[in-house]
C-alpha cells in the first residue's frame, strides 16, 4: 500500500495537473489580494507585498514546472524551488500573523529592500507598492483573517511540496514493491 502511494505521488510529480493547480492557487491568492486592495480598499503593508512576491514566484515556478515536467532533472529542480518558496512563504506568513497577533515585533517600514535593478514596486505599483505599515490583515470570513489563511496555506503547501518532491525521486521502476530512490 505504501509503495502504491509513492508510485501515485511520483506520477503526480510529473503531472500537468499538479503544476496547473500551483498556478491556479497562486493566481487565486493574488486575485483575492488585489480584490481586497482595489475593491474593498484594504491597503497592503510591507509583509503583504513580500507575500505577494513569493506567491508570484510560486506561479512562475509552477509555470516552469508545467513546461519542464517531462525532464526528470528539471522537474526535480522545479519541485525543490516550490519547497524553498513554501519555506519563505511560511516565514513571511508567520511574521505577518505574529505582527497581527502581537507575538512578533519588528520593523515594518515602507521600503521593500529590493535591488535597484528589480524595482517591481515602481514597474507594477498597483500590485507591489507598499501603502501602509503592518499591523492587521482583513477578516476573510467568520473572524478568520488573511494572515491566518496565509499561514495555513503556507504550511499546507510546504507539507505537500516536500512529500511530492521526495516522491519525485522514485525511479520509474518503483513497481513490484521495490521503490528505488
CA-nearest of 11, 13, 25, 8 to 156 is 25
User: Mind listing the pLDDT tens digit for each residue in 67-80?
Assistant: 987 888 888 888 89
> How far is the C-alpha of 53 from the C-alpha of 177, rounded, in Å?
42
C-alpha cell at 131: 501603502
C-alpha cell at 106: 519588528
Contact between 9 and 163 (Cβ < 8 Å): yes
Contact between 65 and 101 (Cβ < 8 Å): no
Q: What is the mean pLDDT of residues 12-40?
A: 88
Q: Which domains can be identified in the chain, with CATH numbers?
A: 2-167 (1.20.1550.10)
User: Mind listing the pLDDT tens digit for each residue in 86-140?
Assistant: 999 999 888 888 887 777 676 677 777 777 888 888 898 888 888 877 777 778 8
The reported pLDDT for the residue numbered 179 is 44
Asked whether residue 180 carries a pLDDT value surpassing 50, the answer given is no
> How far is the C-alpha of 137 from the C-alpha of 81, rounded, in Å?
27
What pTM, to 2 d.p., does this model score?
Answer: 0.82
Amino acid at each position: 500500500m505504501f509503495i502504491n502511494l509513492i508510485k501515485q505521488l511520483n506520477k503526480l510529480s510529473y503531472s500537468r495537473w499538479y503544476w496547473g493547480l500551483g498556478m491556479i492557487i497562486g493566481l487565486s491568492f493574488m486575485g483575492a489580494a488585489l480584490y481586497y486592495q482595489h475593491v474593498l480598499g484594504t491597503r497592503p503593508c510591507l509583509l503583504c507585498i513580500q507575500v505577494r512576491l513569493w506567491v508570484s514566484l510560486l506561479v512562475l515556478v509552477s509555470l516552469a514546472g508545467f513546461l519542464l515536467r517531462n525532464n526528470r532533472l528539471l522537474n526535480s529542480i522545479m519541485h525543490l524551488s516550490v519547497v524553498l518558496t513554501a519555506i519563505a512563504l511560511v516565514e513571511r506568513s508567520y511574521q505577518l500573523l505574529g505582527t497581527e497577533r502581537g507575538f512578533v515585533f519588528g520593523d515594518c517600514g515602507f521600503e521593500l529592500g529590493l535591488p535597484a535593478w528589480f524595482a517591481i514596486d515602481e514597474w507594477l505599483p498597483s500590485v507591489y507598492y507598499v501603502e501602509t505599515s503592518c499591523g492587521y490583515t482583513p477578516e476573510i470570513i467568520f473572524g478568520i483573517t488573511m494572515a491566518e489563511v496565509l499561514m495555513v496555506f503556507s504550511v499546507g503547501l510546504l507539507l505537500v511540496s516536500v512529500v511530492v518532491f521526495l516522491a519525485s525521486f522514485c525511479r520509474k521502476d518503483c513497481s513490484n514493491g521495490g521503490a528505488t530512490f
